[in-house]
Amino acid sequence: MAAATIAALTFNECLTLDEEVVLRASQQDPAYQLLVAKVLAGDWHPHRAQEIECLRHFYSVRDRLSVSRGLVTYTYDQGHVRLVIPDGLRRQVAANLHASHQGLDSMLRRARQTVYWPGLEGDLQHHRASCDTCNAHAPSQPPETLILTPPPEYPFQQTVVDVFQLDGCSYLAYADRLTGWLEVAQLPSGATSSKIMNQLRLYFARWGAPEQVSTDDGTNLVSEEMTGFFKRWGITVRLSSAHYPQSNGRAEAAVKSAKRMLRGNIGTNRSLNSDKVSLALLQYLNTPLRDIDKSPAQLAMGRQLRDGVPAISLNYRIDEHWGRTLRERERQMARQHSKMKDHANGCSRSNIAPGSRVLVQNQANKTWDRAGIVVEARGNRQYLVKLDGSGRLSLHTRLHLKPLAQPNPAPPPKPQEPPPEPSSNRPRRRAARPGWLDDYVE
């Protein structure tokens, strides 16, 4: 039986892969042992074709390889020290990298911090392309530029809250804007305001109460009970418009990540209390963010979390430059905010005054078949509209509102002039003032 098959049968039940698991797998892989001996000896041939076939794939990176405690490591330009994975573990490592159903770019960012093998990018691309769950739920792009919120100054200063449905069950997503940290909770038997508050209290006790929470205008999130809860905790609520999730972009991104992570990992009971869900969440928290090369775990806790991807133990220690990393993340978000503001484009629409009648676009069929009166103009292009008929108050973005042209008042009726006298061809006698009245003084 091939070494790769033996290793797969031996180690495929391990949820967390560490250096010891990789070492045992490498000891059962003759090609890996040849690589260890070659790297230790350093006697590479002058030409690639002179090497045995199993070592030719490493010839171009031979100067980047070294051996530590029996394992080959790969380091490029003083970057991350990455473990070279034996052939028998590569499929499982690729599956663990895709545990959260993230895209190829996210998988590669995570892999480039921890593992290496020849053809890594192609293998991960093949694994992602073969995932039926990801192919069936590919994300779509937002149709309009987001309204930018000033970046936060410290972790969990600005958070997002959203409730979403997946396979008939309700879940709560809670995320931090600065670090990207994500929490997910199941809400059995309905997402009531009371259940949401109970879960938020746990998050506040763990991470501190935020200054601002962004959410949508769902009834369970804007109820009187929920409003009083946020007020007691001194939290400002930023609402997004109805049928316009782009106005709460960070919450939508968190919900997409949570859904992508849970699909294929939750069981028939839809519970989050399983090894697969926990491993997927750890993988998400350990994946580096764009443009910063640091993961939510590294930003929020100063270190990586031990998960299903093998890494050297040094990565689990708190980084001495943690504070500097957070400040760089703040500056990176500020630069991104400024860049997006400078390059923002789109149609500029006039403001709508309260009391104006408007048409409201129906997002189901994209027709303007509803009307109402603007009750209140809020910030971020949001308007509170009282709909005709039902009288229901609904929050809408300016994009979905069209002011109704006010009819011009009718001019007052002109007084009727006497009809002109009928014309006659007969000469008319001219009346003249008598001369004896010339010296008369009134």
Query: Over the stretch 325-336, which tens digit does the pLDDT of each residue have?
Result: 888 877 777 776
Per CATH, the homologous superfamily of domain 158-342 is Ribonuclease H-like superfamily/Ribonuclease H (3.30.420.10)
Domain assignments of the chain as residue spans, ordered by start: 158-342, 357-403
Instruction: Tell me the average pLDDT across 340-350.
Output: 60
List CB contacts of 10: < 8 A, sequence separation 6 or more: 24, 25, 28, 88
* Of the candidates 213, 208, 211, 205, the residue with the CA atom closest to the CA atom of residue 175: 213
* pLDDT over 90, % of the chain: 43
Residue-wise pLDDT for 372-399, tens only, equals: 999 988 877 788 899 988 888 888 878 8
Q: What is the pLDDT of residue 337?
A: 62
pLDDT-wise least confident of 201-210, 369-378, 421-430: 421-430
pLDDT at 421 over 60: no
Q: What is the pLDDT of residue 437?
A: 54
- For 156, the 3-state DSSP assignment is coil
* pLDDT over 70, % of the chain: 79
Q: What is the pLDDT of residue 6?
A: 39
Q: What is the pLDDT of residue 324?
A: 81
Strands (E), 136-268: 158-166, 169-176, 182-187, 212-215, 236-239
pLDDT-wise least confident of 54-63, 171-180, 323-332: 323-332
Take residue 132 and report the two structure tokens written for it.
């039926």
Q: Do domains 158-342 and 357-403 have the same CATH topology?
A: no
pLDDT band at 369; cut points 50, 70, 90: confident
Instruction: Tell me the average pLDDT across 237-249.
Output: 61
pLDDT-wise least confident of 136-145, 247-256, 348-357: 136-145
Q: What is the pLDDT of residue 339?
A: 64
- Scored b (16 or more CB within 10 A) or e, 298-337 reads bbbbbbbbebbbbbbeebeeebeebeebbeebbebbeeee
Q: What is the pLDDT of residue 340?
A: 57
pLDDT-wise least confident of 75-79, 145-149, 396-400, 437-441: 437-441
pLDDT at 291 over 50: yes
Instruction: Tell me the average pLDDT across 2-29.
Output: 71
- Burial (CB count within 10 angstroms: exposed 0-12, middle 13-18, buried 19+), residue 403: middle
What CATH class does 357-403 carry? mainly beta
Q: How far apart are CA 382 and CA 237, in angstroms?
A: 14
Contact present, 114 and 82 (Cβ < 8 Å): yes
- Stronger pLDDT, 435 or 290, i.e. the higher one: 290
- Stronger pLDDT, 87 or 256, i.e. the higher one: 87
Q: What is the pLDDT of residue 359?
A: 85
Distance between the two ends of the chain, CA-based, in angstroms? 139
Take residue 304 and report the two structure tokens written for it.
């990586």
Mean pLDDT, all residues of the chain: 82
pLDDT band at 141; cut points 50, 70, 90: very low
pLDDT at 213 over 90: yes
pLDDT at 281 over 90: yes
Instruction: State which of 121-135, 143-157, 361-375 shows the largest mean pLDDT.
Output: 121-135
Q: How far apart are CA 201 and CA 198, in angstroms?
A: 5
pLDDT-wise least confident of 35-39, 98-102, 243-247, 252-256: 243-247
- For 251, the 3-state DSSP assignment is helix
pLDDT-wise least confident of 72-76, 112-116, 225-229, 352-356: 352-356
Q: What is the pLDDT of residue 10?
A: 47
- Burial (CB count within 10 angstroms: exposed 0-12, middle 13-18, buried 19+), residue 34: middle
Q: What is the pLDDT of residue 5?
A: 42
Q: What is the pLDDT of residue 8?
A: 43
Instruction: Tell me the average pLDDT across 105-129.
Output: 93
